Structure 1
Amino acid sequence: MRKIDTRRFVRATRSTPREINRQILLNLVREHQPISRADLARRMAIGRGMVTALVDELLDEESIYEGATVDAPRGRKPKMLYVRTRDRLVVGVDVRFSRTYLMLGDFGGTPVATESFDTLVEPTALVEALVTRIRRLLREHGAVGRCEGIGLVVPGMVDQRTGRVLNSPQLGWRDVDVRDAIAAGTGLPVFIENAPIACALAHMWLGQHGVEPTSDFAYVTVSDGVGVGVVVNGQVVRGQGNTAGEFGHIPIALDGPTCLCGSQGCLEAYTSNLATLKRYLGRDLSPAQTRDLLRSSGLTVNDVLARARAGEARAGAALDETAHFLGVGLATVINALNPAQIIVGGELTAAWDRIAPIVHAEVAKRALTLAASATPIIPEAAGVSPRLRGATALVTAPVFAAPQVA
Structure 2
Amino acid sequence: MTVELTESQRDLWDRARAFGEEHIEPVAMEYVESGEWPWEVYRKAAEAGLIGLPFEEAYGGQNASLVEQCLVAEAFCRADSSVGIALHGAMTGCFVMDSFGSPQQKERWLEPVTRGEITTGIGLTEPDTGSALAELTTTAERVSGPAGEEYVIDGEKDWIANGASGDWVATLCRTDPDVDPEKPYRGLSLIVVPTDSEGYDATPRDRLGLDAAEHARITYDEVRVPAENLLGDEEGQGFYQTLAWLEHGRVDIAAAHLGMAEGAFDRALAFSKEREQGGQPIGDYQGMRWKLADMRKNCQVARAQVYHAARTIDAAERESREVDQSLIEQASIAKLFATEMACEVAEEAVQVFGGKGFAREHEVEHFYRDVKAGTIYEGTSEIQRNTIGKVLFDEL
Q: TM-score of the superposition, structure 2-length normalised?
A: 0.28
Q: Which has the larger radius of gyration?
A: 1
The structure where helix makes up a greater share of residues is 2
The structure where strand makes up a greater share of residues is 1
